[in-house]
């Protein structure tokens, strides 16, 4: 049934969507931004059209990206967080938003989530409500699965970590949506402040849905093992990028939703598979047409033999401007994170790369933190070609987990070498 669903939706999207060239022509005719961006370019050659970067959008009115056709039909506005460069705006019609939520049912996890909602219908949406629409989307996804959702949000003086923890204890949800760092912080507070309630909270909790911050597969697995839950992590963007986490261990792209292009460090096109800088064109959502938009995450896209019928998998390595050229490889933040969490569950981490060594600071999670620092150092040394030093510090020294966080957890690896090409953003 899952394979059939995937095929039917893929066919529907193909019939409903446009070709990449048709979307480019549509954007040119319907928006102020693309009308100017494509001046002097042939609209019969998709490959010859220039990419759009977040820097191209700096100072541009969001309405310049809004399609005239949908100007009176859009009902929701959102932006990316803007934690590296200018925020990317996006308008959504009711059909856009409901379609985005309905696509969540394509997840092979959806059947188990619907069953969990029937058994215990309480869920908590702990994603921040702000410029991005992630909080609204995940609340709607939980509702679509049948949950009664407490729309709590976070990152405010009202929804403090301690109040979030207290509310989790009161409601005993079977599903929570949150960033991984927020979730672990809340559970840590519960264990300290409500020790008698902790085991029952975990017994009721079945699912964690996470997004908004990078999370390597190994980190996801450590969280699952430590808390005894199913952790579904999603790689997404407000401007239309959608992926599905799968029990097969991979993250899949949905066919006919996006046209994917990969570029190398010199902006030479690689193609649709391999490792490179991610550029996409939305083929379906036309209210804010995104054509050849350089999201500029470093990703690997490969063919998949998924038993659920998905044909392409994506692995994010982190933002390209934060990646590191070292040991004849390009390593993103998530490549370091993947190594780190293989060797234990940590609350947080930080990596500094010097000319002759790599220094890794690891923040323990709790008294049961079980880690193999020798194995961790060996693997990072093998990846970087440098000696690795590691330091395990007590929980709370790096992450003030009882305080409201005022920044995304983006900059984890800093290249301090003279040859560094990192462009460290201002964190919002």
Does one domain contain both 352 and 386?
Answer: yes
| Residue 347 clears pLDDT 60, i.e. is over it | yes
Q: Which domain holds residue 334?
A: 323-415
Q: Which residues pair with 90 in a beta bridge?
A: 78
427 in a structural domain: no
- Provide the pLDDT for residue 333: 94
Residue pair 279/263 in contact by the 8 Å Cβ criterion? yes
Residue pair 168/201 in contact by the 8 Å Cβ criterion? yes
Residues 37 and 50: their CA atoms lie apart, in Å, by 8
Write out the two tokens for 216: 């390597």
Does one domain contain both 72 and 111?
Answer: no
- Provide the pLDDT for residue 428: 42
How many domains are contained in the chain? 3
| Residue 113 clears pLDDT 80, i.e. is over it | yes
CATH number at residue 388: 3.30.300.30
Residue pair 336/397 in contact by the 8 Å Cβ criterion? no
Residues 17 and 413: their CA atoms lie apart, in Å, by 39
Does one domain contain both 355 and 398?
Answer: yes
Q: Which residues pair with 176 in a beta bridge?
A: 124, 208
pLDDT single digits (tens) 268-295: 999 999 999 999 999 999 999 999 999 9
Domain-terminating residue out of 233, 254, 289: 233
Does one domain contain both 78 and 91?
Answer: yes
- Provide the pLDDT for residue 288: 95
Mean pLDDT of 92-114: 91
CA distance between the termini of the chain? 43
49 in a structural domain: yes
H-helix segments, 52-193: 94-102, 110-119, 134-144, 161-171, 180-193
| Residue 426 clears pLDDT 60, i.e. is over it | no
pLDDT single digits (tens) 357-392: 999 999 999 876 667 789 999 999 999 999 999 999
Q: Which residue has the tokens 């410029």?
A: 131
| Residue 21 clears pLDDT 50, i.e. is over it | yes
Strand spans (E) along 24-104: 74-79, 89-93
Using DSSP bridges, classify how beta strands 293-303 and 312-319 pair: parallel, antiparallel or unpaired.
antiparallel
399 in a structural domain: yes
Does one domain contain both 116 and 265?
Answer: no
428 in a structural domain: no
pTM score, whole prediction? 0.93
Residues 17 and 149: their CA atoms lie apart, in Å, by 32
CATH number at residue 86: 3.40.50.12780
Q: Mean pLDDT for the chain?
A: 91
Residue 108 per-residue DSSP state: T
Does one domain contain both 112 and 165?
Answer: yes
Q: 180-193 vs 217-227: helix axis angle to the nearest 10? A: 20
Domain-terminating residue out of 210, 233, 256: 233
422 in a structural domain: no
Domain-terminating residue out of 275, 304, 319: 319
Q: 333-342 vs 217-227: helix axis angle to the nearest 10? A: 30
């Amino acid at each position: 049934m899952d394979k059939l669903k995937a095929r039917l939706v893929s066919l529907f999207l193909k019939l409903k969507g446009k070709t990449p060239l048709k979307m480019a022509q549509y954007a040119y005719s319907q928006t102020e931004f693309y009308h100017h961006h494509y001046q002097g370019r042939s609209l019969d050659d998709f490959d010859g059209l220039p990419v759009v970067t977040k820097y191209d959008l700096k100072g541009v009115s969001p309405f310049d990206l809004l399609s005239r056709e949908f100007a009176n039909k859009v009902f929701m506005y959102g932006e990316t967080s803007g934690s590296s460069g200018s925020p990317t705006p996006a308008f959504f019609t009711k059909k856009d938003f409901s379609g985005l939520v309905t696509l969540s049912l394509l997840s092979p996890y959806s059947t188990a989530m619907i069953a969990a909602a029937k058994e215990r219908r309480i869920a908590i949406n702990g994603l921040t409500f702000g410029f991005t629409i992630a909080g609204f989307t995940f609340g709607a996804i939980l509702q679509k699965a049948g949950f009664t959702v407490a729309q709590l949000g976070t990152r405010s003086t009202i929804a403090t970590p301690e109040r979030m923890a207290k509310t989790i204890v009161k409601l005993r949800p079977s599903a929570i949506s949150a960033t991984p760092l927020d979730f672990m912080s809340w559970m840590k507070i519960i264990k300290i402040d409500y020790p008698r309630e902790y085991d029952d909270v975990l017994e009721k909790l079945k699912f964690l849905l996470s997004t908004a911050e990078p999370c390597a597969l190994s980190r996801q697995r450590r969280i699952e093992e430590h808390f005894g839950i199913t952790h579904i992590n999603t790689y997404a963007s407000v401007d239309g990028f959608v992926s599905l986490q799968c029990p097969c261990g991979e993250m899949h792209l949905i066919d006919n939703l996006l046209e994917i292009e990969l570029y190398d460090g010199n902006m030479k096109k690689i193609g649709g598979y391999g490792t490179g800088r991610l550029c996409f064109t939305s083929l379906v959502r036309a209210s804010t047409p995104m054509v050849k938009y350089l999201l500029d995450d470093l990703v690997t896209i490969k063919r998949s033999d998924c038993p659920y019928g998905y044909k392409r998998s994506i692995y994010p390595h982190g933002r390209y401007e934060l990646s590191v050229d070292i040991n004849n490889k390009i390593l993103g933040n998530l490549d370091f994170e993947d190594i780190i969490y293989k060797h234990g569950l940590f609350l947080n981490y930080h990596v500094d790369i010097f000319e002759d060594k790599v220094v890794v600071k690891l923040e323990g999670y709790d008294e049961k933190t079980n880690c193999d620092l020798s194995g961790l150092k060996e693997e990072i040394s093998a990846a970087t070609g440098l000696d690795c030093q590691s330091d395990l510090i007590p929980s709370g020294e790096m992450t003030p987990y009882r305080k409201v966080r005022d920044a995304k957890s983006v900059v984890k690896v800093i290249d301090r070498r003279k040859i560094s090409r990192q462009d460290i953003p201002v964190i919002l």
